[in-house]
Amino acid sequence: MYTHAAAVLYKCCDHSKQISHSLFPPYNFFYLCSLLNRDSKMGAKRHPIILLFFLTVTVVMITGKAKGEYGSPEQCDLFTGTWVVDESYPLYKPATCPFIEREFRCVANGRPDLIYTHYRWKPLSCNLLRFDGEDFLERMRGKSIMFVGDSLSRNQWQSMTCLLHSAVPNSNYTVARVGDVSIFTFTEYEVKVMLDRNVYLVDVVREDIGRVLKLDSIEGSKLWNGIDMLIFNTWHWWYRRGPTQPWDYIEVGGEVMKDMDRMKAFEKALITWAAWVDANIDPTKVKVFFQGISPSHYNGTLWNEPTAKSCIREKTPVAGSTYPGGLPPAVGVLKSVLSTIKKPVTLLDITTLSLLRKDGHPSIYGLFGLKGMDCSHWCLSGVPDTWNEILYNLI
């Protein structure tokens, strides 16, 4: 009886070395393996009843994991949780990532406090696997990843390149730009991490009357063909007006107009994008994500600080797992459109966890310094690293 049980467990112990440790509960399986190894060296035999008990527990736990139970990403709500201080964070230091753009380099721009870099996102019902850049590169070997969207996509793209570079600092890389597409290639792994600057996802076309935002047209999607993983985002440019608005007219359903309800325009563009996904994505070859709505912090009333008019001097997150001001309306519009898509699209529902991080923006430590107040983008290292850590847990 002992011999058979021990043989099975020894085999499991050997096999476990080839499997991600996250699959096994460390408080029983690896402890048992250590006991068996010690016994084998000492010539001792542990009681067969104990062995069988541990074997049963181990099989049940492994089976539960395989079914998506026990807090695995398949069953766990990764987006409901709290921010906790963890001195092992950040996952990289900005100084070790030389290609971070100036607007995200808060420390180099003079931000004196660093506590904002030491927060880790903790879901209420499970734990996130810590981002493992080398594992990510191995999984994506020979493949391409593209972030598509506005400067918040650029924020996440830069975070991803820093996370990966810090994991393999001696691995060669190249950076190139072709038109609106930046390409960061880890040559040893043949992995391309790309950014397509496309703030509306649909097209802006220059015509005789001027620049036309075409809500039914998505010709820019040609750049997305052949990409293995796509992470989309659009929102922050939809309410721009004046000199920074990059269009003069809107066209929808064959009708050209000077303007329209911006939320309706946002929804129509998402519907056009959703139709493209259903018509063009082969889910056996391509993974599609939507980044979600990244929030801004310019109104302290929303986080119970009515005197705050921006994010300056904010040093800690909002406590708890809910945001006093609630979700922006765009979240409901986005989720409504996503629910109509037939092909699998995973929402990186980062809005609430980011709303809690009023402390994570550059404020005056961004691109324009004291002349600007940036409470829309995020410092790096910082909140976008968590977006990518969740992405890592979902692939």
Average pLDDT over residues 122-146: 97
Q: Tell me phi and psi for residue 207, to 5 degrees.
A: -125, 180
The sign one gets for the Cα dihedral 102, 130, 292, 205 is positive
Residue range 322-368, pLDDT digits in tens: 999 999 999 999 999 999 999 999 999 999 999 999 999 999 999 88
Catalytic residue among 150, 151, 203, 354: 151
Between 155 and 3, the more confident residue is 155
Q: Are strands 181-186 and 173-178 parallel, antiparallel or unpaired?
A: antiparallel
| DSSP structure class, residue 202 | S
Neighbours of 186 (CB within 10 A): 22
In this prediction, residue 372 carries a pLDDT of 84
Catalytic (active site) residue 151: yes
Q: Which of 68, 8, 63, 65 shows the shortest CA–CA distance to 32?
A: 8
**Could you read off the pLDDT of 38-92 as tens digits, one per residue?**
454 444 444 545 444 444 444 434 333 333 333 445 578 999 999 999 999 999 9
Q: Which of 374, 376, 381, 385 is catalytic?
A: 374
How many angstroms separate the CA atoms of 378 and 105, rounded? 9
Active site residue: 165, 236, 361, 377, which one? 377
CA dist 256 to 244, 247, 251, Å?
A: 20, 12, 4
Outline where the chain has alpha helix (H).
2-16, 29-42, 48-66, 133-139, 151-167, 262-280, 329-338, 351-355, 383-394
